[in-house]
Chains A and B, each alone.
Chain A
């Protein structure tokens, strides 16, 4: 019970007062999600309009015929509707806008990835959008909406990586980390690189790993360890080091296997680093006019110090 209580306290953190920096950070984080949701749905739409049938439908496409999305450029119409909905959500014009955008984004994903292979690059973005949707639907207080969305996101980041580690251990076992497996993947991804660019080439790190099985094993073991430790981010004190380890893992995956999880890494950077504290410090240093529009009424300005009688922190 104590563990669970500590988990919920660390995830949602409702008892801790919110600083202006946290408010500003959240709006920037939300803006990041909105911008990349819009970018993804247009990218998917422009690709899907070249297709004429959902060859291997998945998601809701397994239950409802979504082939109509590929006719008359409806994937582009869908992208435009999602763009408008994200704007409405961002401007708080509708509590339902994000949820509607989330559902339509699922359809857009189905339309794009219906050829037999799915990609995971936008999964974290989708989970965060779901967290934003639920936050707006379930709570009235903006402070609670923000805390819920971040807690929800931390939870599913931790869970997702832990499931990835479990999949490896269940699918292969502890010898998953055998360095020769990495050799196979390096070759596989190099062939993909050849198909994409017309050139077959290995970088210096790949050459090194291909010649040193011990090093390859070490890299795989570290990656597996980083994924398995991801649930620790549910607790504040471990959040930054574990998220930085996950970012390091993605950088390694990119350098060694050429697989780029751009959106994952960008979002993890936002979640890992103490942006809110930096913004608070920046505001307190007197360069605050830019941010004042983001700070809701009632929040003390960090430069003004704490109200008399308070514990020295800004009030909620």
Chain B
């Protein structure tokens, strides 16, 4: 009969081996195991998104301009998810566009929405921010820049 101590050590080491094997073969993540890789790549440029209501319909064929920023928190939507879905849409995954429309269905019923990507990078001793409108969302349509203006 093994002692509690040696049984505990065996259980800990076995868990550690499983942990190691799972994170090593799954890019550092297999819930609840993780090597916590966030923030490990310091100084790299990043991209985030902010969703704006569309200012007003344009009639001259140009893309609508961003109006008031849309607060996602009251909608119970995470900015991380919108950023990930937008990245997938930009990579050509239209299924992610449908996800985006579904997550933002409530505000889309009121306004068209413009997803603006913001790129940040270090330039000397400042952080440069570049705003780039990327996706126009309507309840039943999704248009990607640089698609010709609607």
Q: How many A-B residue pairs have CB under 8 A?
A: 192
For chain B, the bracket of interface size reads 35 or more
With A110-B31, A139-B7, A148-B4 in contact, do A181 and B43 touch (Cβ < 8 Å)?
Answer: yes
**Minimum CB–CB distance for B116 against chain A, Å:** 10
* Docked-complex contact A50 and B42, CB < 8 angstroms: no
Q: A118 at the A/B interface (Cβ < 8 Å)?
A: yes
With A123-B32, A134-B11 in contact, do A55 and B88 touch (Cβ < 8 Å)?
Answer: yes
Q: Which residue of A lies closest to B126 (CB)?
A: A183
Q: How far is the CA of A39 from the CA of B142 in the complex (A)?
A: 35
Q: How far is the CA of A55 from the CA of B97 in the complex (A)?
A: 11
Q: A277 at the A/B interface (Cβ < 8 Å)?
A: no
Q: How far is the CA of A201 from the CA of B82 in the complex (A)?
A: 20
8 A Cβ contacts from A115-158 to B: 115-120, 122-127, 129-130, 134, 138-139, 141, 144, 147-148, 151-152, 155-156
* Docked-complex contact A168 and B122, CB < 8 angstroms: no
* Docked-complex contact A198 and B70, CB < 8 angstroms: yes
* Docked-complex contact A50 and B32, CB < 8 angstroms: no
Q: How far is the CA of A263 from the CA of B12 in the complex (A)?
A: 23
- Would you give 14 A-B contacts (Cβ < 8 Å), ordered by A? A8-B8, A59-B29, A106-B31, A110-B31, A123-B32, A147-B4, A172-B40, A176-B40, A181-B42, A183-B122, A184-B122, A195-B79, A196-B72, A198-B69
Q: Which residue of B lies closest to A161 (CB)?
A: B36
* Docked-complex contact B84 and A160, CB < 8 angstroms: no
Known: A59-B30, A129-B32. 12 other contacts (CB 8 A): A14-B4, A59-B29, A118-B31, A138-B11, A144-B4, A148-B4, A148-B11, A163-B34, A166-B35, A184-B46, A188-B120, A195-B48
Q: Which residue of B lies closest to A4 (CB)?
A: B9
Q: How far is the CA of A113 from the CA of B8 in the complex (A)?
A: 32
Contacts of A120 in B (CB 8 A): 34, 36, 38
1/0 contact trace for A163-195 toward B, CB 8 Å?
Answer: 110111011100110101101110110011011
**Minimum CB–CB distance for B64 against chain A, Å:** 18
* Docked-complex contact B36 and A163, CB < 8 angstroms: yes
The 8 A-B pairs of least Cβ separation, nearest first, read A126-B32, A116-B84, A171-B40, A198-B71, A164-B36, A195-B79, A181-B42, A167-B40
For chain A, the bracket of interface size reads 35 or more
Contacts of B72 in A (CB 8 A): 195-196
* Docked-complex contact A115 and B38, CB < 8 angstroms: no
* Docked-complex contact A127 and B48, CB < 8 angstroms: no
8 A Cβ contacts from B1-39 to A: 4-5, 7-9, 11-12, 15-16, 19, 26, 28-39
Contacts of A106 in B (CB 8 A): 31-32
Q: Which of A115, A144, A166 contacts B85 (CB 8 A)?
A: A115
Contacts of A26 in B (CB 8 A): none
Q: Which residue of A lies closest to B29 (CB)?
A: A118
Contacts of B82 in A (CB 8 A): 195
Q: Which residue of B lies closest to A139 (CB)?
A: B4
* Docked-complex contact A115 and B12, CB < 8 angstroms: no
Q: A109 at the A/B interface (Cβ < 8 Å)?
A: yes
Q: How far is the CA of A196 from the CA of B50 in the complex (A)?
A: 8
1/0 contact trace for B90-101 toward A, CB 8 Å?
Answer: 000101101100
Q: B147 at the A/B interface (Cβ < 8 Å)?
A: no
**Minimum CB–CB distance for B95 against chain A, Å:** 7
Q: How far is the CA of A148 from the CA of B87 in the complex (A)?
A: 44
**Minimum CB–CB distance for A73 against chain B, Å:** 15
**Minimum CB–CB distance for A217 against chain B, Å:** 12
